[in-house]
Structure 1
Amino acid sequence: MTNPLRVGNCSGFYGDRLSAMREMLDGGDLDVLTGDYLAELTMLILGRDRMRDTELGYARTFVRQLEDSLGTALERGVRIVSNAGGLNPRGCADAVREVARGLGLDVTVAVVEGDDLTERSEELGLGKVLAANAYLGAFGIAEACRSGADVVITGRVTDASVVVGPAIDRFGWGTTDYDQIAGAMAAGHIIECGTQATGGNFAFFNRADGWLDDLARPGFPIAEIHEDGSFVITKHDGTGGFVTVDTVLSQLLYEVQGARYAGPDAVLRLDSLRLEQEGPDRVLVSGAEGEAPPPQLKVSCTSLGGFRNELTFVLTGLDIDDKAAFVRRQVEDALAVRPAELDWTLSRTDHEDPDTQERAAARLTLVARDPDEKTVGRALSGAAVEMALATYPGCFLTAPPSGGTAYGVFKPGYVDQGVPRHIAVLDDGSTVRIPAPPQTQPLEPTTDDAPVFPEDFGDTVRRPLGTIAGARSGDKGGNANVGVWVHSEDEFRWLDSFLTVEKLQELLPETAPLRVERTRLPNLRAINFVVEGLLGEGVAYAARFDAQAKALGEWLRARVVDLPTRFDQEGTNR
């Protein structure tokens, strides 16, 4: 348990804090510094970049960060591992070498590639797409590290792989060391989103003394990984934010699908993990159990779905429903060609006896989609403008009408593990082929064997669920997840019996017509829900105003429920 691998993170998405790489290198000791720049929406952005210029397709902010920090990383012996290569990892590597030449530095750069299946997408049954990228595993990264590379750049790998790969290299894990790999997967999953592990986007953000100062600029997380796969999540001394069992658990539940967290190299059993506060800003995560990976890899399939336009009408004062019906009828009657999709949403943000005009206002939003840009562009905007003086009283829009804009569609695909030509391209140009895993097994869903508790929890009081429960939610393609947790065994027994699929659909009516999967995680005192199809065809499709379901959990926490009185005071003071 000595000499752990200290892996820091400096990016949770394309657009994260630009100074984070410098802050992490200056803040204390590290062995490896990772950065996650890719997401489903990012793949669309990079795909459109590459359409305009074939030399692009990678995260350019990563290169800008290295202009400031590469010399420090080399001086301190910190290896940098990142998926910033996106759709063009060799182009990104060339840009890094150019930066090094300009700084007078000698750097070795390795690339991991083979994820790009775009040219073979139709042959593989993935359809005609803008980009098709398989989620590769960590052994290519491990091979690149083994070669002594200072910087390792990948294309589409799983988010956790940039952490797992260096751990495989350090500890010499083999392809069937599933428990150890699963532990490193958990570490990678926790730090991949940067400051979400150190207090960012945290449900109980305002229940700690000095929270306003502590969380104004949280530090980025570090995972200290041990040879047995256990690890400690921490951060550099003197940085903002905090690392507690709660903040780590919150991130652990982010964007997960069930108790089995699948990766290309292993499957992590989330229900095996145990979290313990080891000290200030130090959380020990242990007990990881791993299983053989599934026989297929997930593929990110991104395509252009058509064109989209959005108009928001402000409805003020009395007769809101009639005003909404009036303008809806006028706009639809004025359209010579009806778009393929017309979605109207009325948000009743108005208040009775309003003391400001804004509190008197509701919002009616129209979203139109069509393969033809003109149908949702000038034609739709023109219809809205022409009836501006002939419609409901007080009509105005939140923004001037505009033309249609292209939108993307994300769909997951699957291919056999051996289909991608997974290779590590070393600094001298030589390549190492990474074979498919020697063992696989089908990914079996875990059953929701929720017990029926005869326990009487006593008197109740009407309180928001968030009085005692934390939540974290996010997106996976068109699905949304929301993980809910509490702090004591007593609270979990109540939550487990109370928060069924039916109760969730009652509390969040938007989910009622959709399929919802529920997974119990008793070790974590948590329950995870996956709501299928809530987000349409992915974030770029923008099926709802919270297109990535980031606040779905906060909506759930705000719902008022019959909370056992004995929990009420505990939760308020927590």
Structure 2
Amino acid sequence: MVSADRPSKLEHRHPSRDSEPRKIRAVRIAGASGGFSDRQRAISSLAKLDIDVIVGDWLSECTMTLHGAQKIDNEKLRSEGKLTEEPIGLFDPTFIDNLSPALPDIARKGIKVAVNAGACDTQLLARNVEDEVKRQGLDLKVAYVEGDEVTDVVKRLIKQGEKFTSLMTGEDLKDWGYTPIYAQCYLGGAGIAEALNNGADIVVCGRVADAAPAVGAGMWWHGWNREKDFDQIAGSLICGHLVECAAYVCGGYFSGFKRLMDGCTNLGFPIAELFADGSCAFNKEPDTGGEVSVGTVASQLLYEIQGPLYYGSDVTANIEGIVMKEEGKDRVRVTGVKGLPPPTTTKVGMTAFGGYQAEFHVYICGIDLEAKAEWIEKQIRYSAGDAVKELSCFKFSLNGYCPDNPRNQDVATCDLRIFVQTKNKKLVDKSTLDVPGFNRWCMDNGLQGCPGWTLGNDQRQSEGKVYYEYYVSLLPQSDVQHRVVLPWLDSKTIDVHPPSEMQEYPRDQPSYETASPVDVTQYGPTTRGPMGWVVGGRSGDKASDANVGFYVRHDDEWDWLRSLLTIDKIKSLLDEEYKGGKIERFEIPGIRAVHFLLRDHLDRGFNSTSTYDTLGKNVCEYLRSKWIDIPNKFLHRGRF
């Protein structure tokens, strides 16, 4: 357990701030990565600055699924004697390339590093980091955190009758239709704090929560008592959420992106100051593009949240009272987060083999697009014959439109996407997802096609490929074996037990419409146009749930927004995208925001979805494009 009484050997002073005892000042945490696709310069660049801790996130539900499936494949190959080299595909292969150039500065300046990069073989990645440290002749201690892999635990509990209710659909695992092959749960930051308390310089984690590295850094630096300092730890949880996606909080995915165009080639990475009371302040690395403003920070807060309560394994944060204030150029102070006991459970993600999928693209152009798409669909379904009965998904989607009097042929051309999924690659009547097969169903009709039928010149997507299903539920924290391993101390292992005070929370968070709505006609004459002219926002995914939050820049706009955006209004704006699922709503007055959770909206999530929006990031931009009546007085202030 993390103790508030820190060993004296750790009561050091930062090399560049000898006049400031560590417990008095804020810990400076730099966010170096929001995912495996982030810029690889970040750790090296940040290590050159006045930083105490560098954190980074290399995992996601997508990577958890893919790495987990690869681990099962590796184990099968090993059992068959076919795996003779080091395992592949178990973590981001470029991680060492990210870290290596920064190691001399990390060692020289005493910077700590905590990352959730180990994926499905944290021990192996930690060993690789140790090897690189030794190769450079440096003295850095590398610890790792394990216990996130819970496949055996999940299988045992299934046999004992555990229902594992889906967080998205509310159905039980038995109704899912797939068999889990791999499971990982989300660990908190206490293990990271324990590793740092015992002298680690670099802490490599598997599936800790994205915000956990910042939580661990705060616990270690400020000596918070895990059993009672809930407000402070909750503040660090939200600080971690804000820093976890790196440049998102500095202008990435920002609704006001047009004003940041000049510096968009090199957005800055964030630096958070986490204070002893749990509040935090954000700025960014100097001489970089982007900005840190209430708008950029609020946008990141609204990303991938589920309601007024933000759950972590160490604490629950209530964000309804959060307040953001600009204290200067590229500096925002965040206060008002309240802490509650952590939940008795933690989130667990299960991976299962889904089957095979393929897609084919036909390009059509000009007028009568819907009729042309209908013609093509009828012909392809006829060619498929009885094989259609074995498809779990057979979807035609017309994407794009031809504007009036198009300025060139490309803008008048649309993509008709034909997408299929099936559990079996071989279908009836010798049909298959091999080529030729599904590919042939689509090709057969080329010369019988509608006017403008055009074949794409890359047919590789029409070959069936394996896809995986992903299922999210809850696992009791008491069933998790959270451990810290210290290799330099003869691989000493420290168990990190759950907090003694935890609380059960319902699956559904509080949802409500606004109190005392105003009459929106009071704002005077209006102009009809896209909501995004005056409303910013951000959306994201959690498996098949999508969340979307909207905010405005002025107080009178806030009264208008909270009165306008009811649950029924969102259903109306979703239009054909609304499939009848439950929608939950709450408000964050301190940032003038209204948030919605769209239950089971994303067709199963990244790894198996049949839609273009694999990560829920486009939900917000779709809704911001919808036309509403906007008060002219708001438009006169300028558009996003």
Corresponding residue to 2:246 among 183, 194, 198: 194
Q: Aligned-pair distance for 1:561?
A: 0.8
Aligned partner of residue 156 in structure 1, secondary structure = coil
Corresponding residue to 2:449 among 391, 404, 409: 391
User: What's the counterpart of residue 287 of structure 1?
Assistant: 336
Aligned CA distance change for structure 1 residues 489 and 352 (closer, same or farther; 3 Å): closer
Q: Does 1:426 align with 2:486?
A: yes
What is the TM-score when the length of structure 1 is the normalising length? 0.95
CA distance in 1, matches of 2:206, 2:494: 16
Contact map agreement 2:246 2:270 (CA 8 A) in 1: yes
Q: Does 1:536 align with 2:593?
A: no
CA distance in 2, matches of 1:330, 1:447: 46
Contact map agreement 1:214 1:242 (CA 8 A) in 2: no
User: What's the counterpart of residue 289 of structure 2?
Assistant: 240
CA distance in 1, matches of 2:368, 2:446: 18
AA at the equivalent of 2:553? H
CA distance in 2, matches of 1:567, 1:65: 45
CA distance in 1, matches of 2:627, 2:102: 49
User: What's the counterpart of residue 35 of structure 1?
Assistant: 56
CA distance in 1, matches of 2:374, 2:294: 49
Corresponding residue to 1:178 among 209, 213, 230: 230
Q: Does 1:367 align with 2:389?
A: no
AA at the equivalent of 1:88? D
Unpaired segments of 5 or more residues in structure 1?
Answer: none
Using the TM superposition, name which of 189-198 and 57-66 deviates more. Answer: 57-66
CA distance in 1, matches of 2:139, 2:518: 68
Q: Does 1:508 align with 2:574?
A: yes
CA distance in 2, matches of 1:392, 1:18: 47
AA at the equivalent of 2:399? S
Contact map agreement 2:510 2:586 (CA 8 A) in 1: yes
Q: Does 1:273 align with 2:322?
A: yes
User: What's the counterpart of residue 637 of structure 2?
Assistant: 570
AA at the equivalent of 1:84? A
AA at the equivalent of 2:154? S
Contact map agreement 2:538 2:548 (CA 8 A) in 1: yes
Contact map agreement 2:579 2:601 (CA 8 A) in 1: no
Aligned partner of residue 617 in structure 2, secondary structure = coil
Contact map agreement 1:312 1:399 (CA 8 A) in 2: no
Query: Which residues of 2 match residues 449-460 of structure 1 at below 5 A?
Result: 449-455=513-519, 456-460=522-526
Using the TM superposition, name which of 145-154 and 546-555 deviates more. Answer: 546-555
Corresponding residue to 2:501 among 436, 439, 452: 439
Aligned CA distance change for structure 1 residues 463 and 353 (closer, same or farther; 3 Å): closer
Q: Aligned-pair distance for 1:2?
A: 4.3
Using the TM superposition, name which of 137-146 and 170-179 deviates more. Answer: 170-179
Corresponding residue to 2:362 among 304, 308, 313: 313
Superposed CA deviations along residues 231-267 of structure 1, whole A, max 9, x for unmatched, are 1111122222211111111101101111111111111
Q: Aligned-pair distance for 1:447?
A: 3.2
AA at the equivalent of 2:438? L
Superposed CA deviations along residues 471-514 of structure 1, whole A, max 9, x for unmatched, are 10111100111110011221111111111111111112102522
Contact map agreement 1:309 1:377 (CA 8 A) in 2: no
Aligned CA distance change for structure 1 residues 460 and 24 (closer, same or farther; 3 Å): same
User: What's the counterpart of residue 475 of structure 2?
Assistant: 415
Q: Aligned-pair distance for 1:405?
A: 1.2
Contact map agreement 2:434 2:463 (CA 8 A) in 1: yes
Q: Aligned-pair distance for 1:101?
A: 2.2
Q: Aligned-pair distance for 1:415?
A: 1.1
Corresponding residue to 1:325 among 374, 383, 394: 374
Query: Which residues of 2 match residues 100-499 of structure 1 at below 5 A?
Result: 100-125=133-158, 128-175=179-226, 176-207=228-259, 211-336=260-385, 337-338=387-388, 339-374=391-426, 375-378=432-435, 379-401=437-459, 402-427=462-487, 428=489, 429-444=491-506, 445-455=509-519, 456-499=522-565
Percentage of pairs with the same residue: 33
CA distance in 1, matches of 2:360, 2:553: 43
Contact map agreement 1:22 1:69 (CA 8 A) in 2: yes
Q: Aligned-pair distance for 1:449?
A: 4.3
Superposed CA deviations along residues 246-294 of structure 1, whole A, max 9, x for unmatched, are 1111101101111111111111111121111111111111122011111
AA at the equivalent of 2:540? G
CA distance in 2, matches of 1:205, 1:486: 15
CA distance in 1, matches of 2:513, 2:570: 17
Q: Aligned-pair distance for 1:51?
A: 4.0
Superposed CA deviations along residues 183-229 of structure 1, whole A, max 9, x for unmatched, are 0011100010010011111001124xxx3223321110011111110
CA distance in 1, matches of 2:236, 2:400: 46
Aligned partner of residue 99 in structure 2, secondary structure = helix
Give the paired residue count: 569
Q: Does 1:8 align with 2:72?
A: no
Q: Aligned-pair distance for 1:301?
A: 1.4
Aligned partner of residue 561 in structure 1, secondary structure = strand
Superposed CA deviations along residues 108-136 of structure 1, whole A, max 9, x for unmatched, are 11111111011232222366423211111
What root-mean-square deviation, in Å, do the aligned CA atoms of Structure 1 and Structure 2 show? 1.7
User: What's the counterpart of residue 18 of structure 1?
Assistant: 40
Q: Aligned-pair distance for 1:568?
A: 1.6
Unpaired segments of 5 or more residues in structure 2?
Answer: 1-22, 76-86, 159-163, 165-172, 174-178, 427-431
Q: Aligned-pair distance for 1:454?
A: 4.2
Aligned CA distance change for structure 1 residues 390 and 12 (closer, same or farther; 3 Å): same
Contact map agreement 2:68 2:182 (CA 8 A) in 1: yes
